[in-house]
Amino acid sequence: MPLSARRRLAAACALAALIVPTGCEQVRSKIAPPQFEPPKITLDVGRRVESELGMVVSIDEAASRAGAWILAEGGNAVDAAIATAFALAVTHPQAGNIGGGGFMIIHTPEGEVDAVDYRETAPLAFDHDVFLDERGGLDRRKRSDPFLLVGVPGTIAGLHLAHEKYGSRSWNVLLQPAIDLAQKGFVVPPLLAADVYANREKLAMHPATRNLFFDAQGRPIEAGTRLVQPELASVLRAVATEGPDVFYTGWIAKAVAQHVENNGGLLRANDFARYDAKWRKPIRTEIATGELYGMPPPSSGGVAVPQILGILAGYQLGAIDPVGPIVAHITAEAMRRAFRDRAHYLGDPDFSAIPVADLLNQKHIDSMRESIDLARATKSGTLWPEPVPAGGTETTHFSVIDRNGMAVSNTTTLEQQFGGGIIVGGLGFLLNNELGDFNAKAGMTDARGNIGTAANLPDSSKRPLSSMTPSIFSRNGKVEVITGSPGGRTIINTVAQVLFRRILLGQEPTQCVWAPRMHHQWFPDQLVLERDRWPEQTIEQLKQRGHTIVYRDRLGSAQSIFRDEYNKFIGVGDRRRDGWAAAPNIILPAGYYVNKPKK
Ligand code: DON
């Protein structure tokens, strides 16, 4: 396809993703189901799907189908989440991964809530000065060196940890959809083609990555072609049959470490051997007669989202236009204050004490609210003098619930789209560049808005602070909302806005996900609005209050599930980035096809 046609295709995709449909009807997929789906099982697939038998909503149709298929065979939400996560590693290499990390929140039907931290860790050889030159100044080349930024991937350890405790089906069976998608290939969706094109320079720099995403003439992969990944299939097959050890202490760890070392990075095989995914206690806050569960540090959303919602809950906003100037102004001010706290206090809890309880104390939240002037935007510089950096552009979130009400909220990332672009020859998967999430230099601030607070400085075996915010809201132990998003720092505000609309304003699920979004992160001191989505009058009044407005085409991609008043699950795929909901419409006897119960 010539360049101009490819550009037109990318533009058409972006446009299609932004068009918000007027109706809320169930949309049946017209795309042929992937090959792993056994005959006779039919799934409901669409942007908005209703079901009582469970639901998976993810960024990719094949991955949502993979999880829904596991549900259809009687697997539980954790089983389905594992299948979806591995499928995403094949079909959504922008962010789905086995070379990255993330967070998972699990809510059992009995109301127990657990969280898995499978964030990447820094190598042993990391220290505070890793991004500095000999004179102690920031070395921008080091700061963006993809080999230096590779952290020990946590995904396989994290999924396995969740499986050990909650899985009901054999581990190897849960990888089968992903293995089939890698081995037999899948039809490249327009989103993947557009993203490969947008990242073509980074991806073409690494030989194994170039071989995967470009043809012999050097042209990026096109939508509608088949992408077959035999090397990734072999890695997945090894993980399926041998378990995580082959990844952390076997040939896979050795091959990654060797490649990184050959290219000047610090990651070594013993860093893999020392990696542990961790159980964490979710942050629980009470709001709107329910309970909100979020991820504790090293994520920051579990603190920031309840702060934002706590500030908003103190106003009587029910009767006011949610896209009018008052709600928009207050929301922006709440975000500004939550991000001030985030920048100052949050980091890896295994390295410094994080005052989570103080940050969520009602008195603190009330004082944040009281400092808001309804008529004027607060200048961020008067709240705290240090600026913070802007967020990145790729991560992925998926939500799962099974028919018994067990729920999984999972966000995973390689940091940037396709991570640093590195695929190790023979392994077929992309490595993360997550360690760029550390602050670059102690005390450093600059015009681009870097920050140098101690809690998130690089250190040996430390986890960088994250904005990923998988969240679950329940009432009386029954899950009502599962949500999360990609979008760097915008994640926190996307999640806060979905939850705000559902639990404080009581809006219809589709509206909660598709309504226009905004973002304020304290510094840069500007209010980001989704382009062409906000009423002119609101924008005018925000400007009059003193907000500096900037526009972005889209904010976030919140693949979410809601429970309605009739106990029906409503899956809403966020069409900003091609989200798909999939639900089983039949539950088969366990092991009907290949889905063997766990021994
Ligand atoms: O963990 C974090 O906060 C980032 N590494 C996430 C990156 C991200 O979301 C980029 N964008 N979509």
If you take atom 9 of ligand 1, which residue's CA is the nearest one? 488
The predicted structure's pLDDT at residue 15: 33
Please tell me whether the peptide bond between 524 and the residue prior to it is cis, using omega within 30 degrees of 0.
Answer: yes
- pLDDT single digits (tens) 144-166: 999 999 999 999 999 999 999 99
468 lines ligand 1 (CB under 6 A): yes
Q: Whose CA is nearest to atom 5 of ligand 1?
A: 415
> Given this model, what pLDDT does residue 432 score?
98
Predicted confidence at residue 501, as pLDDT, reads 97
Tell me how far the alpha carbon of residue 342 lies from the centroid of ligand 1, in angstroms: 15
pLDDT value at residue 588 = 78
Ligand 1 binding pocket includes 486 (Cβ within 6 Å):
yes
Could you tell me which residue, 586 or 188, shows the higher pLDDT?
188
- What is the residue-wise DSSP string for 174-196? HHHHHHHHHHH-EEPPHHHHHHH
Q: Has residue 2 got a pLDDT over 60?
A: no
Confidence of residue 32 (pLDDT cuts 50, 70, 90): very low
Are 223 and 190 contacting, i.e. CB atoms less than 8 angstroms apart? yes
Is the CB of residue 394 below 6 angstroms from any atom belonging to ligand 1? yes
Q: Tell me the β-bridge partners of 58.
A: 580
Task: Give mean pLDDT, residues 233-246.
Answer: 98
Convert the pLDDT of each residue in 438-453 to its tens digit.
998 888 755 455 677 8
Nearest atom in ligand 1 to the alpha carbon of residue 434 is 5
Pairing mode, if any, of strands 580-584 and 54-58? antiparallel
pLDDT value of residue 448: 57
Residue 512 alpha carbon to ligand 1 centre in Å? 22
Element (H, E) at 85: helix 77-91
The answer to whether 348 and 463 are in contact (CB under 8 A) is yes
Pocket test for ligand 1, best of 92, 121, 413 (most atoms within 8 A of CB): 413
What's the Cα-to-Cα distance from 270 to each of 237, 258, 433, 458, 579, rounded to whole Å?
Answer: 23, 11, 19, 19, 38
Q: For residue range 71-99, what is the model confidence (pLDDT) as tens digits?
A: 998 999 999 999 999 999 999 999 999 99
Rg (CA), the chain: 22
Question: In angstroms, rounded to a whole number, what is the distance separating the alpha carbons of residues 173 and 584?
Answer: 18
**Dist CA 404 CA 109 (whole Å):** 6
| Its pTM surpasses 0.85 | yes
pLDDT at 8: 39
pLDDT, one tens digit per residue, over 562-585 is 999 999 999 999 989 889 999 998
pLDDT category at 27 given cuts 50, 70, 90 is very low
CA of 384 to the centre of ligand 1 (A): 24
Interval between CA 486 and ligand 1 midpoint (Å)? 6
Q: Is 437 in the pocket of ligand 1 (CB under 6 A)?
A: yes
- Known catalytic membership, residue 453: no
Phi-psi region of 42 (alpha: psi -120 to 50; beta: other; left: phi over 0): beta
- Which tokens is 372 given? 């808001």
List the one residue out of 573, 599, 577 whose CA is nearest residue 67.
573
Predicted local distance difference test score (pLDDT) of residue 317:
87
Among 456, 467, 490, name the best residue to mutate to test ligand 1's pocket (greatest count of ligand atoms within 8 A of Cβ). Answer: 467
- Residue nearest atom 8 in ligand 1 by C-alpha distance: 488
The CA 306 to ligand 1 mean position distance, Å, reads: 19
3-state secondary structure 335-397: HHHHHHHHHHHCCCCCCCCCCHHHHHCHHHHHHHHHCCCCCCCCCHHHHCCCCCCCCCCCCEE
Can you tell me which atom of ligand 1 is nearest the CA of 436?
Answer: 5
Counts for the chain of helices (H) and strands (E), in that order: 21, 20
Separation of 411 CA from ligand 1 center, angstroms? 9
Q: Is 487 in the pocket of ligand 1 (CB under 6 A)?
A: yes
CB distance 413 to ligand 1 below 6 Å:
yes
CA distance 483 to 263: 38
Task: Give me ligand 1 centre to Cα 595, in Å.
Answer: 33
**Closest CA to ligand 1's atom 1:** 466
247 vs 101: CA distance, rounded Å: 14
Does the beta carbon of 291 lie inside 6 Å of ligand 1?
no
DSSP-derived pairing of the beta strands 527-530 and 549-552: parallel
Q: What percent of the chain has pLDDT over 90?
A: 82
What is the pLDDT averaged over residues 176-203?
95
Q: How far apart are CA 581 and CA 64, in angstroms?
A: 6
Q: What is the pLDDT of residue 383?
A: 83
The preferred substitution site among 415, 434, 490, 557 for testing ligand 1, maximizing ligand atoms within 8 Å of CB, is 415
* Ligand 1 centroid distance, CA of 515 (Å): 22
Q: What pLDDT does 390 receive?
A: 38
Instruction: Give the model's confidence band at 519: pLDDT under 50 very low, under 70 low, under 90 confident, else very high.
Output: very high
Please check the confidence at residue 454 and state whether its pLDDT lies above 80: yes
Would you state the pLDDT for residue 73?
87
Catalytic-labelled residue, pool 155, 331, 395, 538: 395
